[in-house]
């Protein structure tokens, strides 16, 4: 309640300040001149780039219809919901200090911090970020949810969901870009993850990217990731939505299969490796990622070590000729900007996901997911997406015995 009140007061104060200046007809400053931009949000900054801020946000309204293994009884279910409703405030102060405060109001109306971080950039080319933010692991996770090519990121991230989840904790990350290289190292302390003495357990993330070609429409990208978390004990559960978020939004009939069922207190080691590849030439791009998670059974446990692996291959082509943006700083793809304002930009995408989890002598569950999609970038703010998905599984069924299923996902996005 306090956070909601604070966000409302801050926004109202900003609106009053802006309207007051507009009514006055003049703007005075005790420093450098101020430049105001209104394209893609509201942005104001000094001409010497020492101070500035940008107010923006994103709204993603989703609809999913799904059946088979995606539901508990196999019959069709559907969900309509706000995937994200984020108000973003970012900027710079005193030249070397950047800040980013994002509040997600979500479907239920209960606001939460999506990000609250401060970054010091005065040690160029090294940046130091402190606060609450997503840990750095994987190409598709590094890419903003506004500009990923399919509606949901690859299901391989479900196999080790903690590797890029802030988990309401706090962290510190050191990152930098030089030449064709980008790298980051982060330490995150998840909320509620304490040992028997009340000391916080930590998650460590490392990511390195080399990109000999790193510009829009001309990309060659390789990446390596590692993550490890310290935990006293956990249940070793591995599960996935298989690229359909509506399966968890639907509490009545949605099914989120367990690739490996949880066994309380039987595991105490957790680590993951990841590989990335991407190539883009003009309007065409191909990317692929691989993830391997190792779950260690506790000494003396009757359980055995578990392993979860997944990979994906994605092909995308912009029919209207535009190239996907790319930023080496962060090692990520960026937006597509329509060249023709009348028809916008049209993009086709296909992705294949392969997931597997096994515990020697007990389980070996697999899933294959095909996603075919189309994106219409009506302009730089509005994006409309449609995905068709089909999934098949081995040693995974719902209560009705279904081991395959289909889904249709739709999204209307407004980003400013």
Secondary structure in 3-state letters for the chain = CHHHHHHHHHHHHHHHHHHHHHHHCCCCCCCCCEEEECCCCEEEEECCCCCEEEEEEEEEEEEEEECHHHECCCCCEEEEEEEEEEEEEEEEECCCEEEEEEEECCCCCCCEEEEEEEEEEEECCEEEEEEECCCCCCHHHHCCCCCCCCCCCCHHHHHHHHHHCCCCCEEEEEEEEECCEEEEEEEEECCCCECCCCCECCEEEEEEEEEEEEECCEEEEEEEEEEEEEEEEECCCEECCCCCCHHHHCCCCECCCEEECCCCCCEEEEEEEEEEEEEEECCEEEEEEEEEEEEEECCCCCCCCEEEEEEEEEEEEECCCCCCCEECCCCEECCCCCCCCCCCEEEEEEEEEEEEEEECCCEEEEEEEEEEEEEEECCCCEEEEEEEEEEEEECCCCCCCCCEEEEEEEEEEEEC
Q: pTM (2 decimals)?
A: 0.89
In this prediction, residues 314-338 reach a mean pLDDT of 98
Residue 157 has pLDDT above 80, yes or no: yes
Question: What pLDDT sits at residue 345?
Answer: 98
Question: What pLDDT sits at residue 134?
Answer: 92
More confident residue, 22 or 159: 159
Report the CATH fold assignment for 50-415.
Answer: Porin (2.40.160)
In this prediction, residues 117-121 reach a mean pLDDT of 98
In this prediction, residues 145-155 reach a mean pLDDT of 97
Question: What pLDDT sits at residue 126?
Answer: 97
Window from 57-71, 194-208, 279-293 with minimum mean pLDDT:
194-208
Residue 171 has pLDDT above 60, yes or no: yes
């Amino acid at each position: 309640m306090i956070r909601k009140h604070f966000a409302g007061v801050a926004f109202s104060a900003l609106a009053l300040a802006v309207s007051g200046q507009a009514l006055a007809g003049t703007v005075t400053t005790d420093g450098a001149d101020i430049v105001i931009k209104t394209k893609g949000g509201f942005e104001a900054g000094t001409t010497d780039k020492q101070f500035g801020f940008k107010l923006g946000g994103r709204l993603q309204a989703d609809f999913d219809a799904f059946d088979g293994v995606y539901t508990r009884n196999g019959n069709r279910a559907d969900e309509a919901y706000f995937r994200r409703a984020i108000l973003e405030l970012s900027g710079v102060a005193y030249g070397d200090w950047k800040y980013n405060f994002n509040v997600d109001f979500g479907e239920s109306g209960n606001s939460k911090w999506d990000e609250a971080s401060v970054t010091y950039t005065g040690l160029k080319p090294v940046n130091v970020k402190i606060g609450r933010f997503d840990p750095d692991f994987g190409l598709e996770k590094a890419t903003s949810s506004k500009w990923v090519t399919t509606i949901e990121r690859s299901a391989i991230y479900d196999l080790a969901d903690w590797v890029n989840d802030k988990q309401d904790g706090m962290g510190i990350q050191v990152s930098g870009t030089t030449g064709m290289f980008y790298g980051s190292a982060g330490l995150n302390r998840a909320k509620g993850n304490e040992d028997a003495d009340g000391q916080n357990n930590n998650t460590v993330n490392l990511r390195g990217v080399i990109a000999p070609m790193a510009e829009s429409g001309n990309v060659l990208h390789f990446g390596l990731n590692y993550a490890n978390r310290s935990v006293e004990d956990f249940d070793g559960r591995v599960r996935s939505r298989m690229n359909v978020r509506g399966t968890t939004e639907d509490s009545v009939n949605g099914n989120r299969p367990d690739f490996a069922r949880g066994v309380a207190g039987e595991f105490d080691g957790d680590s993951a490796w990841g590989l990335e590849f991407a190539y883009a030439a003009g309007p065409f791009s191909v990317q692929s990622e691989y993830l391997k998670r190792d779950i260690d059974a506790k000494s003396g446990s009757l359980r055995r070590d578990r392993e979860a692996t997944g990979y994906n291959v994605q092909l995308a082509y912009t029919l209207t000729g535009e190239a996907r943006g790319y930023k080496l700083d962060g090692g990520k793809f960026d937006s597509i900007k329509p060249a023709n304002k009348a028809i916008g930009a049209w993009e086709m995408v296909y992705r294949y996901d392969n997931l597997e989890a096994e515990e020697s002598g007990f389980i070996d569950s697999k899933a294959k997911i095909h996603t075919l999609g189309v994106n219409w970038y009506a302009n730089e703010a509005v994006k409309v997406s449609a995905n068709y998905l089909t999934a098949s599984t081995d040693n995974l069924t719902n209560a009705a015995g279904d081991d395959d299923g289909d889904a249709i996902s739709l999204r209307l996005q407004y980003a400013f």
